């Protein structure tokens, strides 16, 4: 697959017409830059439509399993969302070294940049909040919980309408544990709900409502309700629900915020209750949208890109997007298992201690094991990463010694032991993954 040539530099210089990305998009100026991705303005060569393309380096994310997991989840989630107040993902493309998110271009920028200049009127704040709740309620109805709602992740288009973006920390209903709750600790400190701080599990819909309440406060006040230079002091304020409303807040807004920012999630207002609240309903116009109904016909496999393949994949195995095609001897091997990290590490240790293998074992931080042959001709590092609440990724990498013993140990001994002794995820297999240091 062809690479981008002459990628725009940090000054926003574009590329020429002869250097269209994968033959489809002319890439223009740089719109934004983060630690792991850059976003460019681009134009569809065929239709002339302007889009935003988020470019992610595979090399940068390969060393961080949680980041890879977030990106895979973001693709999966955005694929199922189609709402006027959610940034639309058109397609995902992949080259040898990069992943490209082709998204709707939202020209107005972040809501954060606007409120940073001056606080909004109550009517304007309500309008944005109404659009936010419309999008959040839509997500919840489809089993998606954003978990990182804040003004920086809310964009405004040229018509002044809000668009929710950045689903990298989102969760889906399938991640809920047997207790009916989510347990992953995530979000931005000033916007996290108090129940997240207790580390006892939380309802994804209720923490999203809390974050929406913090956003509403910020839009009206121009500053955060819970803020302190000391992080633990701020967390105590959040846990106790200690905030003050400015004098310009109307009584109805204060009453409404007290229901949204209720520290007890059981007493906190729900999305359905928000929709019927008098303060919220003022000037509210229900959003109309049309679901894209998938046609029940045989898929045409002509000109398929990575996003199409994801759409047809029942198992959502996105490994092809994240691995390099070079099968060099420095590459590692990957296996997906439906088991806990602790159990996998325990199984690897038992394997190493078996008489026929005669390997020295050294535990590492988290879920890692170093295996060394007694004669020094073999050294393997085994790392276990949690992919979801139910799945883990096992990566075995050659740390030293010859290639032959390394491949033989993985393919003929360790991998069969893990697959046979634990619960291998159906439809998965070992994959070549880039070596990380």
Catalytic annotation, residues: 148
What is the C-alpha to C-alpha distance for residues 337 and 213, in angstroms, rounded to an integer? 39
Span between the terminal Cα atoms of the chain, in Å: 27
Helix orientation angle between 251-260 and 204-221, rounded to the nearest 10 degrees:
150
Number of helices (H), then strands (E), belonging to the chain: the values are 15, 15
Encode burial over 90-104: b for 16+ CB neighbours within 10 A, e otherwise. Answer: bbbbbbeebbbbbbb
* Long-range contacts of 243-247, Cβ-Cβ distance < 8 Å, separation of 24 or more: 243/217, 245/217, 245/221, 246/220, 246/221
What is the C-alpha to C-alpha distance for residues 217 and 15, in angstroms, rounded to an integer? 42
List the structure tokens of 100.
Answer: 């490209």
3-state secondary structure of 143: coil
Q: What share of the chain is helix, strand, coil (3-state, %, to 5)?
A: 35, 20, 45
What is the C-alpha to C-alpha distance for residues 256 and 269, in angstroms, rounded to an integer? 9
Give Cα separations from 107 to 51, 104, 124, 157 (angstroms).
Answer: 10, 9, 19, 5
List the structure tokens of 108.
Answer: 């107005």
∠ CA 247-210-112 to the nearest 5 degrees?
Answer: 70
List the structure tokens of 76.
Answer: 């999966």
List the structure tokens of 112.
Answer: 């954060």
List the structure tokens of 119.
Answer: 């606080």
Three-state DSSP string of 395-414 = EEEEEEECHHHHHHHHHHHH
Sort 412 into a burial class: Cβ within 10 Å, 0-12 / 13-18 / 19+. exposed
Reference 63, options 35, 95, 94; nearest CA is 35
Helix orientation angle between 204-221 and 122-141, rounded to the nearest 10 degrees:
170
């Amino acid at each position: 697959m062809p690479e981008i040539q002459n990628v725009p530099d940090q000054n926003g210089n574009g590329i020429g017409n002869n250097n269209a990305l994968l033959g489809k998009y002319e890439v223009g100026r740089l719109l934004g830059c983060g630690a792991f991705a850059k976003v460019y303005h681009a134009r569809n060569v065929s239709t002339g439509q302007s889009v935003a393309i988020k470019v992610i380096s595979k090399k940068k994310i390969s060393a961080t399993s949680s980041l890879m997991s977030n990106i895979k989840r973001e693709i999966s989630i955005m694929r199922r969302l189609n709402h006027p107040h959610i940034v639309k993902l058109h397609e995902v493309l992949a080259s040898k070294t990069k992943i490209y998110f082709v998204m709707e271009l939202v020209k107005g920028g972040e809501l954060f940049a606007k409120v940073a200049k001056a606080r909004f009127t109550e009517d304007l704040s309500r309008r944005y909040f109404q659009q936010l709740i419309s999008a959040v309620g839509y997500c919840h109805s489809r089993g998606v919980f954003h978990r990182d709602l804040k003004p920086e992740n809310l964009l405004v288009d040229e018509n002044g309408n809000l668009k929710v973006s950045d689903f990298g920390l989102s969760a889906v209903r399938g991640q809920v544990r047997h207790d009916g709750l989510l347990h992953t600790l995530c979000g931005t400190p000033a916007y996290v709900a108090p129940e997240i701080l207790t580390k006892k599990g939380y309802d994804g819909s209720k923490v999203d409502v809390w974050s929406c309440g913090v956003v509403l406060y910020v839009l009206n006040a121009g500053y955060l309700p819970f803020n302190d230079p000391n992080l633990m002091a701020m967390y105590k304020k959040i846990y106790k629900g200690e905030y003050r409303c400015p004098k310009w807040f109307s009584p109805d807004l204060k009453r409404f915020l007290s229901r949204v920012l209720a520290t007890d999630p059981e007493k906190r207002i729900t999305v359905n209750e928000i929709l019927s609240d008098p303060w919220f309903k003022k000037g509210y116009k229900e959003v109309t949208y049309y679901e894209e109904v998938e046609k029940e016909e045989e898929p045409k496999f002509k000109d398929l890109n990575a996003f199409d393949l994801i759409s047809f994949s029942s198992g959502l195995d996105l490994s092809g997007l994240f691995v390099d095609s070079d099968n060099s001897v420095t590459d590692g091997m990957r296996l997906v298992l439906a088991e806990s990290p602790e159990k996998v590490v325990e199984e690897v240790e038992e394997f190493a201690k078996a008489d026929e293998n005669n390997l020295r074992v050294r535990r590492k931080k988290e879920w890692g094991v170093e295996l060394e042959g007694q004669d020094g001709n073999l050294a393997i590092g085994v790392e276990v990463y949690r992919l979801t609440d139910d799945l883990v990724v096992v990566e075995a990498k050659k740390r030293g010694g010859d290639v032959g013993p390394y491949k033989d140990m993985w393919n003929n001994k360790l991998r069969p032991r893990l697959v046979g002794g634990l619960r291998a995820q159906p439809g998965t297999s070992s994959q070549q993954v880039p070596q990380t240091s």
